[in-house]
Structure 1
């Protein structure tokens, strides 16, 4: 049996099962829904911030190795530290320091905080005044006994040794001994079983203690970040989902105009969400910020399927068919279209599975599986449930409210939708050429769209919009401080000198001239690193620690001088002894930042040009690492983020190409098998390419970048948008076979299926566009883009398909004419 006949036979059997045994179908689906309900309790919530995108990257692994090997004095390990950020007119007065010491004393007295140590202005200054003071209580007593002049003198002395660097704000003035902000880092001694929730509870408790202390003190740590990102996910769901449901309900009422049909549509939507979330629970895929888009997309696609099946069923009943035969006829026409739409949507959504970034990959899996569930529920369950309900309605004598199709040939909407088909018959070639040229121009303009990967993408804004803050309970969002705290840190402690790149070098640094080779690249660095005097690099390394300690210790300076053969301040022999002396001195803490204790790994930190782009900095870092005579690797936060941005861009392009190629190949094959018209597959893809080109151009115009979520929009646009072309083409084929030409077939298609497409477009565009109301920018931008994508896809299907179909018909006629001419010669 030919493949086309096998497919037709399979769909007929499936249709027969739905129509002849609707109660059995409904029962099976309800039982499966019960199974998926069991997975809801296992759904894991994930903050889905920056860390989720860097876990599996080699660049992040290198950075973590650097952080493990080199001890940084102000390192804020997300699992073990909390920062207390104080702002005041002057945080270095005696009164302010005593308040900080009292706060640390109260924290140390609370066993649940498990404070191991603390580093900040108060303990540093107290220990300088009294080296024997080691506890918060002793620090407080030392500061209380000291005079203001003694404290000011201590600060000036500490400043010379740079021990206050990083714990006081950039406006620190050693002359007046003043600073407007300080950071005190508390290290916690947590057991191995201590989890994120426990850390969050500790940091919440610390904030409560800080609130009881005079002045403005904020507790900040990874627990705070994770909590507020997770809270923003939940708050966004509480805000977005009711709006989506209300919009969908409104359009269901408009489209169905019958309360029973509306109820059926809502039941199907709820089942789709239960199945998808149940799958997430059973599969262990966490629900993160990016996942909020999944239920919104599925609801929108589900409504699309529902409108088509109910609208086509009503068309058949208006033609005089009874309920069972009307549904049999409607299903016979729509099942293949639903299968085609589902497969192409899976290609579009699932193309994100190839991403190197775990959250994007998870999004691809969840959305692809969700689309399959949507097909099963709306393609199989909804028709069966509709027949069961209509049967019950008939037995009980419940009247129908309004069962007419959305649009007809005589309706105003039908005439508007058919207008492109009327125009296309006069100059289809000119119209198609104009569409191609305009889409090429928009695509070329959109090729300059930017890429971003920043904290701001994931975090709620510092000031929430008025429509959010004015919401009543339970929709009112919680209080967010993370963004304002990060902005405060950037303002008070951020560097105006650009980013820092770390070169991780491995080798035997006890060899003569090891230090000379370590600083050799500094003389001729890449342009983005030439920020020092004379265009040299501004670097910090074990060499700068040696030179700094030599300036303070005459005996050590003499040791360095004896082993400096070329008198440039860098020792080039007897290095092991120099390291031993350095690590045994008061400079050991700074030495551990740049050289491991076995003297086989070194770290060099480079300041970069503040005007240099991220690409220039990362490229320059790689070039600099290549000039080292040791094995060297460039790393740092900016390098890791650049790597993520590269992968985001790759995911966007690769996902789009894969989605388009798979979709086009499938459509060519399926139309070739079923209709022996493979070129219809190419025609089918034409509108979606136009829609994507216009979407890219609009992204750049609106200054929306490709980020951790919007990078998926291109392939998702294929999955969502191709449905409009497929439904239009499938209906066109049915009508084309029964009429005399493409123009007439397209007119009937746009006045019939066009109405369902228009209703689907409104529900999908506004439903998914409701994501723009989400608290975090990453979701808001995605909502705007998916709304635009759906709108462009609908317009392209209505405007671009009619002239393309007319040209396709002409090529068909040319082929027939050519074949007729060749036959006499054969």
Structure 2
């Protein structure tokens, strides 16, 4: 069996005796990995998170199978939003129909279906007006009185009200807002989703539709997944354009302070760039798409890479200031730090890999990419940087170039060393009392943190409706573009989601709808609905095929007679010969064909029922109501709708976060115990190493709730990240302490040497990483700003607990296991 010492000896020989070979090999590997950069695809928005979601799959089928489904977010659909004094006036309806007709006439726009309140009004006046051109002629020829009367009669048509804004007044035949729809034939394999994706073939289509709308009139705007796609792509770029320069300047400033030498600074920056190139090159070669959550990976690589770089250079300087030559100094440095780096890498990889247990694909990808990136960072900073540093120093000495700032950070006697020694002071005087107080504070923070909210919405990934003030003062090159999607989404939700402002829940039913009691099941399901469902006379106010049947029977005696013949219990719902009823509704010459096909498929195998939810109810209550209504249908209904889909993802996010944290802690504890058993013969050091990070996680959870940061698609990873990154700080101190204690057998002297030697490097790493990541709060995407804040807090708490909590823990550990 190969011993740890023999492995270290081989690594030392490679780094110290053959630095040019190491440098050359790493540069060649960098070129190879860079080849994958151009192969990385991009992915953004909420549709990354919906894979395998039953409610989303049901919503996808609704979007694909039912014609004219206006409110379901269909990646093949475009929404036309019209706002004017009265969108039900003759001129306004003609403009809506003109936009639809011109779009339909262009083959490249692939329009296969349209829908609008104007179409319904026209067909109410003349049921034979089945084309957009005919509908325009009907509206043009009708008198104002005929139009107003048709609007009032159309009010009974299922779905008509849902196309009009909140202020719709059937008596006055007026409304200030309406929406129409265009359905496009899109390439096969492109599914719909409650969220919106980053790349969409509809982007250019919807831009062309917008040009048509602008030519017809200024009161119609275009909205859809293509428009959202363009803004999602733009907001990421604009956020990075603001954040990257600010973060780079801050990080560079702190690195200048930490290294205080231009050559060392250059080597550190080159190593950071290599780590990022390797990681993103790996993504390209592995065909892993770059999603918004992976924007965090460079931040994490910087966090670990900066820490490794500062530790490597600082530890080497500790040896050099003692008068030792370069090679022996680097050999001592790598002997100690390769073990520390390996411990940190192992725990960090385990922390990040725990996200691979998530049911959400982007979080799984994050776990893989970040874990691989940390391994690359270990190799670059543990092997390449020491070799490059040694070769640079030898070259500098051979040509007589001066060196600068070679004093290690936090050296003995400095003001900084005194501040860093606070934890050792506490450890000397009252370690047990301090740990008891720490337990009380962290327990309180953890209990408070259990009230964290969970969030998942389109708005997480989009810029706010109003840009922050600092954006207005940015120079032209950094100023973001104009974003309208959030304002449009808010308008649609306020005006159209429901007359009560509470939203919609859909029950999707798939089965043989020819069975005699199929419609009776839908009828009975509407009796005594859950309290949050809008109802009248204890019956749900639902949009369904039953409403189409009632509406058509009221105006067509022949169809009414068909319903009556097949209504065995005289409740107005057919329960015999249902296929004949469906055939009459969906016949090519049926005036209600379009309305019927919004609620039943042409093969009579599926239907949908849309329920309006009262305002002010939680997502959980909406989901419970939907599931109760779905359970009333014997055919096997599925509750769906955007609220249901997003609530399911919220639950998955919370489960992912807790599962990731538990897995990270268990795996890290076992790994640390094993490593410390192998290298020190003291597995209990592994448990001692975990104490500071547990305190840091408790403080982080409480702080997130205090600052109002929810668990969302990005921050759900924070607790496993806190284990992975946070253990870095305490692992460096514990390992250095173990090394010092083995040499001197002096408890407090070892703690002093550890904090003075390692604490300064940890401080430099913390300042650089936390300030660099905190700059993400400037991002115009809210979710990035929240993630930047929690990463900065995580790093700060990890450093604080490492230097304050670890020394008392080591004193107690010594009393329990050594003394």
TM bucket (normalised to shorter chain) is over 0.9
Contact kept, 8 Å, 1:76 with 1:82, in 2: the verdict is: no
Distance in 1 separating the partners of 2:138 and 2:548:
30
* TM-fit CA distance, 1:285: 1.0
Superposition TM-score, scaled by structure 1 size:
0.93
The aligned residue for residue 10 of structure 2 is 13
Q: What's the counterpart of residue 509 of structure 2?
A: 505
Range 192-201 or range 420-429, more displaced: 192-201
- Residue 262 of structure 1 deviates from its aligned partner by 0.8
Structure 1 residues 537 and 131: alpha-carbon distance in aligned structure 2, compared to 1, 3 A threshold: closer
Work out which of the residue numbers 148, 151, 155 in structure 2 matches 1:155: 151
Q: Is the 8 A contact 1:582 1:591 kept in 2?
A: yes
Residue of structure 2 in register with 1:807 after alignment:
812
2:28 maps to 1:31: yes
What SS class does the counterpart of residue 737 from structure 1 fall into?
helix
Aligned equivalent of 1:626, options 626, 631, 635:
631
CA distance in 2, matches of 1:93, 1:70: 29
Question: Is the counterpart of residue 615 in structure 1 residue 620 in structure 2?
Answer: yes
Paired residue for 1:415?
418
Q: Name the SS for the 2:162 alignment partner.
A: coil
SS of 1:594's equivalent? coil
Query: For each residue in 1:757-790, what CA deviation from the matched residue of structure 2 results, as whole angstroms up to 9, or x when unmatched?
Result: 0111101111111111111111110000000000
Query: In the TM superposition, what is the alpha-carbon distance from 1:561 to its structure 2 partner?
Result: 3.4
Answer yes or no: is the 8 Å Cα contact 1:521–1:627 preserved in 2: yes
Deviations 1:252-294 (A, max 9, x none): 1001111111111111111111111111111111112111111
Unaligned runs of 5+ in 1: 815-826
The structure 2 residue matched to 1:724, chosen from 725, 729, 732, is: 729
Kindly provide the CA deviation profile for residues 390-423 of structure 1, in whole angstroms up to 9, marking residues without a partner as x. Answer: 1221122111121101111200000011022112
Aligned partners of 1:73 and 1:589 also within 8 Å = no
- Residues 1:442 and 1:311: Cα distance change in structure 2 (over 3 Å): same
| Superposition deviation, residue 23 in structure 1 | 0.6
- State the 1:524 CA deviation: 4.4
CA contact (8 A) 2:83 2:178 kept: yes
User: Which residue in 1 is equivalent to 2:40?
Assistant: 43
Which of residues 680, 686, 689 is equivalent to 2:685?
A: 680
Q: Deviations over 1:283-323 (max 9, x none)?
A: 11111211111111111211111000000111000111111
Structure 1 residues 166-245: aligned runs within 5 Å = 166-189=162-185, 198-245=201-248
Asked whether the 8 Å contact 1:248–1:303 carries over to 2, the reply is no
The structural deviation recorded for 1:149 is 4.0
Separation in structure 2 between the aligned mates of residue 532 and residue 126 of structure 1, nearest angstrom: 30
Partner residue, 2:800: 795
Matches within 5 A, 1:403-482: 403-482=406-485
Equivalent-residue separation in structure 1 for 2:529 and 2:407 (angstroms): 74
Structure 1 residues 620-629 or 165-174, which shifts more? 620-629
CA distance in 1, matches of 2:105, 2:321: 80
Shift of the 404–702 alpha-carbon distance from structure 1 to 2, 3 Å rule, reads same
Following superposition of structure 1 onto structure 2, how do residues 728-807 of structure 1 map, counting pairs within 5 Å? 728-807=733-812
For the residue of structure 2 that corresponds to 1:83, the secondary structure is strand
Distance in 1 (alpha carbons) for counterparts of 2:263 and 2:753: 29
Structure 2 residue matching 1:238: 3-state secondary structure? helix
Q: Give the whole-Å Cα distance in 2 for the aligned partners of 1:572 and 1:119.
A: 30
* CA distance in structure 2 between the partners assigned to 1:134 and 1:596 by the alignment: 20
1:253 aligns with 2:252: no
Residues 560-579 of structure 1: pairs in structure 2 closer than 5 A: 560-579=563-582
- In structure 2, do the counterparts of structure 1 residues 301 and 608 end up closer, same or farther at CA, with 3 Å as the change threshold? same
2:743 is paired with a residue whose SS is coil
Residue 379, structure 1, aligned to residue 382, structure 2: yes
Q: Would the aligned equivalents of 2:213 and 2:220 in 1 still touch at CA under 8 Å?
A: yes
1:119 pairs, out of 99, 115, 118, with: 115
Q: 1:192 to 1:511 in 2, by over 3 A?
A: closer
CA separation of 1:772/1:671 partners in 2, compared to 1, >3 Å: closer, same or farther? same
Cα deviation code 1:527-574 (max 9, x no counterpart): 444x42455444343333333333333333344334434333333334
How many angstroms apart in 1 are the aligned matches of 2:71 and 2:694? 49
Deviation at 1:583, TM superposition (A): 3.5
Residue number among 504, 519, 524 corresponding to 1:520 in the alignment = 524
1:163, CA displacement in angstroms? 6.2
Distance change in 2, residues 1:255/1:711 (3 Å): same
Q: 1:717 to 1:503 in 2, by over 3 A?
A: same
Rounded Cα–Cα distance in structure 1 between residues aligned with 2:369 and 2:561: 66
Q: Which residue of 1 aligns with 2:196?
A: none
Measured in 2, the distance between the counterparts of 1:149 and 1:11 equals 93
TM-score normalized by structure 2?
0.94
Q: How many Å separate the matches in 2 of 1:797 and 1:692?
A: 12
Structure 1 pair 203–514 and aligned structure 2 pair: CA distance change class (3 A): closer
Structure 1: distance between partners of 2:187 and 2:659: 44
Measure the CA separation in 1 of the matches of 2:801 and 2:304.
18
Deviates more, 1:689-698 or 1:123-132: 123-132
Inter-CA distance 518–101: structure 2 relative to 1 (3 Å threshold): closer
Q: 1:704 and 2:701 equivalent?
A: no
C-alpha spacing 1:65/1:114, structure 2 compared with 1 (3 Å):
closer
CA distance in 2, matches of 1:521, 1:157: 27
Decide whether aligned partners of structure 1 residues 501 and 116 sit closer, same or farther in structure 2, where only a CA change above 3 A counts. closer
Q: How many residues align?
A: 809
1:481: how far off?
1.2
Q: Quick one: structure 1 residues 243 and 260, their matched pair in 2 at CA, closer, same or farther if it must change by over 3 Å?
A: same
In structure 2, relative to structure 1, the CA distance for the partners of 1:179 and 1:525 (3 Å cut) is: closer
Judge which range, 170-179 or 804-813, deviates more: 170-179
CA shift, 1:82, in A, is 1.7
Deviation at 1:65, TM superposition (A): 2.6
Closer, same or farther: CA 490–662 of 1 in aligned 2, 3 Å: same
Counterpart in 2 of 1:352? Answer: 355
**Structure 1's 455 and 123: CA in aligned 2 closer, same or farther, altered over 3 A?**
same
Q: For the residues of structure 1 that align with 2:528 and 2:115, how far apart are their CA atoms?
A: 38
* Residue 273 (structure 1) aligns with: 276
Q: Cα distance, 1:526 vs. partner?
A: 4.1
Task: State the distance in 2 between where 1:193 and 1:569 align.
Answer: 41
Report if aligned partners of 1:469, 1:477 keep a CA contact under 8 Å in 2: no
Deviation at 1:634, TM superposition (A): 2.5
Contact 2:554 2:560 in 1 (8 A): yes
Contact 2:423 2:806 in 1 (8 A): no
Query: Mapping of 1:379-398 within 5 angstroms?
Result: 379-398=382-401
Task: Supply the distance in 2 between the matched residues of 1:732 and 1:657 (Cα, whole angstroms).
Answer: 27
Q: CA deviation at 1:350?
A: 1.4
Query: In the aligned structure 1, how far is the partner of 2:522 from the partner of 2:97?
Result: 41
Matched, 1:666 2:663: no
- Structure 1 range deviating more: 758-767 or 617-626: 617-626
Q: Which runs of 5+ in 2 are unaligned?
A: 192-198
Specify whether residues 808 and 349 from structure 1 end up closer, same or farther in structure 2 by C-alpha distance, changes over 3 A only: same
Q: What is the aligned partner in structure 2 of residue 821 from structure 1?
A: none
Aligned partners of 1:55, 1:624: CA distance in 2, in Å?
24
- Evaluate the alpha carbon distance shift between residue 245 and residue 444 of structure 1 in structure 2; reply closer, same or farther with a 3 A threshold: same
How far off is 1:674 after superposition?
0.9
Give the conservation status (yes or no) of the 8 Å contact 2:741–2:747. yes
Distance in 2, Cα, partners of 1:295 & 1:512: 60
SS in 2 for 1:611: coil
Do the aligned partners of 2:358 and 2:656 also contact (CA within 8 Å) in 1? Answer: yes
In structure 1, how many angstroms separate the alpha carbons of the residues matched to 2:504 and 2:75? 23
Task: Kindly state the Cα deviation for residue 625 of structure 1 after the two structures are TM-superposed.
Answer: 3.1
